[in-house]
Chain A
Amino acid sequence: MKQQTIAKLLAGLTGLGMALGAVSTHATPEQDRQEFVKYYTNKYPNVKLDDYVYGALAFDADSKAQYDAIMEFPPYESVVEQGRKMWETPLKSGKTYADCLPNGGKQIAGNYPMFDDTKGKVVTLQDAINDCRTANGEEAYKVSDMKTMGVLTAYMRTLSDGMLMNVKVEGPKAMAAYEDGKKTFFSRKGQLNFACATCHVQNAGVRLRSELLSPAVGHAVHWPVFRGGDNLVTLQQRYDGCFKQVRAVPPAQGSATMNNLEYFHSSLSNGLPMKASVFRK
């Protein structure tokens, strides 16, 4: 019965709408993740699961070789360095981000997003950074501002390089947020009427308009990226781009919809290693 869940969701996509109702109950996030993994690895038995962290690059050696060449000495290192300075600069209270965050901010990114029971909602790592800011005399950063939150996380997330994604969904409220994210992922949207799943499940590993599409498993571990080695994009900034590309109005970055989407989306990559600030085309 579990095997049908993703298949049913995909079958629902071929119709005009998406009736999630019955099909999504009883499946745990880990079961969902395993179904996704099974779906992709059955379709592409020659691509190693470990390589899914490279997204579309895992399906094209020529692209992967360019990534390797650029990652040897990334052109955006000085931007990450700026992020390091931001990270190390004390806030108005005299405390630093390392004082606020668990484990001094090291090897924690894989735990986010997490469901905060006290707040009753999903919090992202960026939310945690902003909480630190406001608790120490600073104004919160706009999560959509690449120059502030973007640059800071371009460095800060590297402190979690190598950590395995470890998003936990425990309790009915967390589960509801997870299911909300899953619904966003599978719902058709925009003038093009595509769901996230249309490209990243149905057409993963296939070209759409000359672009090779990446599987959803392996997505969330490698952010932010520097597009063309230069243009900094965080994960929710990419969601924003995806919405616009299907000609839908994007929800605000940091909104419950986007955070819940990131919650669901990240749990699909549980068990895969994180690496921040990487090159993409």
Chain B
Amino acid sequence: MNALRRNVLKGAAGAGTVAVAVAAGLLKPTQALAGAPRSAFEAKNVGDAMKGMGVSAPADSKDITIKAPDIAENGAVVPVEITSGIAGTTAIALIAEKNATPLVADFDLSGGTQGFVSTRIKMGQTALIRAVVTAGGKSYTAAKEVKVTIGGCGG
């Protein structure tokens, strides 16, 4: 499965790739690509997480919006919303770059699900929150810094 995903993404030069995979019987039309393998979730740095996801050199995109705080109230529960305005978004991955295991979650979207996810994550320290979006077989990315402080008086 992982190799299939990698091959499809590597060969993604245009709209044809997924069609080719379908024609070759490798990919049924209604089958969404499975989520990143557990090894990606265990990766201890962003580079390895991306490799595990089968993503290399995603293009920076201004069509990805990350709604997250400038300064997290509490690093245990940081609300994050990712909106992808890129047509044909099929997957969104959420990375907290300085977490011990940066890949926090990934979402495979199908059947009319929009390029939008909202969740709450843990962050150990100030870091970039990065979204990696898969659309039309290509990868795109955007990031936003979230500061995490240790408060003095929360009681």
Contact = CB atoms under 8 A, between A and B. Distances in A.
Interface of A: 62-63, 65-67, 69-70, 75, 199, 208-211, 213, 227-230, 233, 238, 241-242, 244-245, 280-281
A65 B69 contact: yes
Contacts of A241: 155
A62 B155 contact: no
Given A69-B81, A209-B152, A280-B73, 11 more contacts: A62-B71, A63-B73, A66-B73, A66-B79, A70-B79, A75-B77, A199-B153, A213-B153, A227-B154, A229-B120, A230-B77
B19 interface: no
| Most chain A C-beta atoms within 10 Å of own C-beta, residue among B72, B76, B78 | B76
B2 interface: no
Contacts of B120: 69-70, 75, 229
Interface of B: 69-74, 76-79, 81, 120, 149, 151-155
Contacts of A213: 153
A228 B74 contact: yes
A245 B155 contact: yes
6 contacts: A199-B153, A211-B153, A227-B155, A230-B77, A242-B155, A281-B151
A211 B73 CA distance: 10
Contacts of B79: 66, 69-70
A281 B151 CA distance: 9
A241 B72 CA distance: 22
B149 A227 contact: no
A65 B77 CA distance: 13
Given A69-B79, A75-B77, A281-B73, A238 B153 contact: no
